[in-house]
Amino acid sequence: MDNKYKKTLLLVEDEIIIAMAKKQELGKYGYNTIHAMTGEAAVTLVRERQDINMVLMDIDLGRGIDGTEAAELILKDKEIPIVFLSSHTESEIVERTNKITSYGYVVKSSGISVLNSSIKAAFELFDTNLKVDKNIRLLEDNCKRIIERENDFSTIINSIGDAVLTADIKGYIVRINPAAEKLTGWKINKCREKSVSEVFKIINIRTKKTIINPIEKVLESGQIEELAENTTLISREGVKFQITGIAIPIRNDAGSINRVVIVFREISEEYQLQKEFNKFDTPYKFAVEGSALGLWDWNIETGEVLFSKKTRVMLGFDESKISGSSKECRNLVHPDDRKYFYDNINRHLNAATSMYQDEFRVLSKGGNYKWILARGMVVARTEDWGPDRMLGTIVDVTKRRQAEETLRIERDNFINIFNSMKDGVFIIDQEYNIKYFNPAIKKDFGDLYSTKCYEYFYQCTEKCSWCEMSKVIAGEKINKEINFQISQKTYDMMCTPITNSDSTISMLAILRDITIRKKAEEEIKNQLLEKDVVLKEVHHRIKNNFASIVGLLSMQASSLTDYSAVSALNDAIGRVKSYQILYEKLLLSDDFNVTSIKQYLDNLIDEIVSLSLFPESIEISVEKNIDDFQLDPKRLVSFGIVVNELLTNVMKYAFAGRTSGLIQVTLKKNEGHITLTIQDDGNGLPDGFDLENQTGFGLLLVGMLTKQFEGDFTIENHNGTRSIMKFSI
């Protein structure tokens, strides 16, 4: 592995021998491995060291917290990949790790190549998840910004003087602003989802006949439609208002109309004013100072245009300039808008429309362009019906257009992020209507043939009994696993509430496909069941192998005459038999969790003493004083090895040249502190004995295991030899 990309691994393993071997193996693959014996030590190391790239976590860590608890504490402080490395294959142990964000579960006996592959795969998966989490956070930030922009846009709509009414393509009210509420007499909470014809009652003031719903005209033509001339609105209370306005189609990304916006205003005063103008034929009767609208009067024959004070300010004219030429006004229009501007003007002058309305950019005094909304109508014609005079208004809509453009950009970013995600994303309103879904949803579930979520996802005719919508609308975030029959897949679903521009709440849902992972988990469960069967056969073979090894060593020892060789083989026979006893007494017991140390040591000591390592001429007595308490199976195995080594040393060296001997084994527990004492009345330690400089394997093994227990070990002359091991539980 290139040192530039060398990774540092934290190996959490309470078995020091296994840890040393595993660290050496990982070093061959280029990993820098540091070791922690306890879960607490692992948590501290991750907090203090920034160079740790991954944690290899054993599950059973002896005294203190176990591996799953340590993993949870680590993940609270830091995002880091954790791979569980354990000897356990029991399904209940494996399932405990499923509740933790881990990146693999490797059985210790799998081999270093399998472990190396799992580590590489975990790093790749972790890097991928970091990128996904970054995209999700970016998505959440964009959602918040869009909602803020929509709220700003809603504020602008609510504050403008014109009445605005929005309806869906079925002709039902979606939203109206305060100005529309005032004219129609309907409040938004009373008229939402009522038909436009009920809320927006319009008639022709001359014929008294009902005028065709402007939404129908927009859906038929697909273009902006003006309200008919002489349109009168009848409010909920029966009050009549002379109005003018337009109906505008709103299209989605696919180009289909999904909303129609009706913008209208009361022109009762303007209507009367127009009649006065026609009556008195003077350009000054309509100059109503203080009006929110800029007014203009165009003499088409001469080309002269009169301006109100408000108009002069908007166009950046000097206040003393009360008139200008039509050519001068046209030159102020942005070059990109002129063709559309000319077309609209000419259509109205040629009597193709009842009212002129247009939005375009004009050059202001500071050299910047501003957006204005211009409306007007021909109020006088020549004898041959040519246009003679036109009156109108303008209003500055720059802020509204800027807000619309910002909102459009934010929405595009928002949709682009959703559309690029591999996870499925959809939004549902409180009426269970699907308001948006990304390509990943379409790929799994097909084209949207119904707007109701329960019909599209579940083919139900009414909302699902298990629906979580009410909880989400109440502010709760839902994370659950869910199966969909239509896609034949399993997903992790995250549902969260989002606030719309009209302050209503909808539900944003993200579906992550976990079908492959679920199948892998099921395969692991099946493999674990198979391994249980194999394990029973392995236990049987291990017992036979113990017996075979002892037999082979015994035959080899009986064929030798060299004392040192025979002694070494007898040592090996003793250790093998001791491990056989440990295996049969503990690992093969019917109830593995029942770990009475008194019963265990009583049997173990008797078996060790009966191994015939003493000459037949020596009479040995054994006194046992053992407190009864519980010790976990893993530590009990190591403790049994210590007792075996110490007793074997006594049997080999303590009573040379003696005809009898006494061995005392004492085990005491005092408030969590354990003391093991093995005392003999034999010949004692040789002169110059130094425990620190011993090279014999037996005492070296005792020292290593004592360190694993975080305890102390001493051996001394005391009426023979006395060995003491102390540790805490």
Model confidence pLDDT, tens digit, residues 437-469: 999 999 999 888 778 999 998 888 888 888 989
Q: What is the mean pLDDT of residues 18-25?
A: 86
Provide the whole-model pTM.
0.38
Count CB atoms within 10 A of the CB of residue 434.
18
Model confidence pLDDT, tens digit, residues 402-427: 888 887 888 788 788 888 888 999 99
Per-residue CA distances from 170 to 174, 177, 420 (Å): 11, 20, 32
The per-residue pLDDT for 582 is 67
Q: What is the mean pLDDT of residues 612-617?
A: 58
Residue 546: exposure state from Cβ atoms within 10 A (0-12, 13-18, ≥19): middle
Contact assessment for residue 26 and residue 9, using Cβ atoms and an 8 Å cutoff = yes
In the predicted structure, residue 2 carries a pLDDT above the cut 60: no
Which residues contact residue 601 at a Cβ distance below 8 angstroms, ignoring those fewer than 6 apart? 624, 626, 640, 643, 665, 667
Model confidence pLDDT, tens digit, residues 310-339: 877 777 776 666 567 888 888 889 999 999
Model confidence pLDDT, tens digit, residues 485-495: 888 899 999 99
Q: What is the mean pLDDT of residues 302-306?
A: 87
What is the pLDDT of the chain when averaged over all its residues? 84
Model confidence pLDDT, tens digit, residues 658-677: 888 999 999 999 988 999 99
- Which sign, positive or negative, has the C-alpha torsion 16, 21, 22, 28? positive
The 3-state secondary structure of 103-158 reads CCEEEHHHCHHHHHHHHHHHHHHHHHHHHHHHHHHHHHHHHHHHHHHHHHHHHHHH
Determine how β-strand 660-670 pairs with β-strand 721-728. unpaired
Q: What is the mean pLDDT of residues 640-649?
A: 88
**Distance between CA atoms of 169 and 23, rounded to whole angstroms?**
69
**Distance between CA atoms of 354 and 244, rounded to whole angstroms?**
10
Determine how β-strand 240-251 pairs with β-strand 231-234. antiparallel
In the predicted structure, residue 502 carries a pLDDT above the cut 80: no
pLDDT band at 573 (very low <50, low <70, confident <90, very high): confident
DSSP calls for 674-721: EEEEEEE-SS-PPTT--GGG---HHHHHHHHHHHHTT-EEEEEESSSE
Per-residue CA distances from 662 to 242, 571, 621, 622, 653 (Å): 120, 21, 5, 6, 13
* Three-state DSSP class for residue 229: coil
Kindly state the tokens that stand for 281.
């034929």
Strand ranges, E, within 500-633:
505-513, 619-626
The per-residue pLDDT for 149 is 62
Per-residue CA distances from 314 to 283, 331, 362 (Å): 20, 15, 9
Kindly state the tokens that stand for 611.
């191994």
What is the crossing angle of helices 39-48 and 67-77, to 10°? 20
In the predicted structure, residue 278 carries a pLDDT above the cut 70: no
Kindly state the tokens that stand for 124.
């790749």
Q: What are phi and psi of 198, to 5 degrees?
A: -80, -35
The per-residue pLDDT for 614 is 54
The per-residue pLDDT for 693 is 82
In the predicted structure, residue 611 carries a pLDDT above the cut 90: no
Which is more confident, 345 or 576? Answer: 345
Of 392, 324, 396, nearest in space to 360 by CA: 396
**Distance between CA atoms of 117 and 471, rounded to whole angstroms?**
43
* Three-state DSSP class for residue 579: helix
Lowest mean pLDDT across 41-45, 273-277, 581-585, 714-718 = 273-277
pLDDT band at 112 (very low <50, low <70, confident <90, very high): confident
Nearest 10 degrees: CA dihedral of 692, 697, 702, 705?
Answer: 110
Contact assessment for residue 219 and residue 169, using Cβ atoms and an 8 Å cutoff = yes
DSSP secondary-structure letter at 160?
Answer: S
Kindly state the tokens that stand for 180.
């529309």
- Which sign, positive or negative, has the C-alpha torsion 464, 468, 473, 474? positive
pLDDT band at 724 (very low <50, low <70, confident <90, very high): very high
Contact assessment for residue 42 and residue 12, using Cβ atoms and an 8 Å cutoff = yes
Contact assessment for residue 705 and residue 642, using Cβ atoms and an 8 Å cutoff = yes
Count CB atoms within 10 A of the CB of residue 475.
9
Contact assessment for residue 40 and residue 69, using Cβ atoms and an 8 Å cutoff = no
The per-residue pLDDT for 323 is 66
Of 62, 159, 143, nearest in space to 500 by CA: 143
Model confidence pLDDT, tens digit, residues 237-264: 999 988 888 899 988 878 888 889 998 8
**Helix, strand, coil percentages for the chain (3-state, nearest 5):** 45, 25, 30
* Three-state DSSP class for residue 276: helix
Percent of the chain with pLDDT over 70: 90
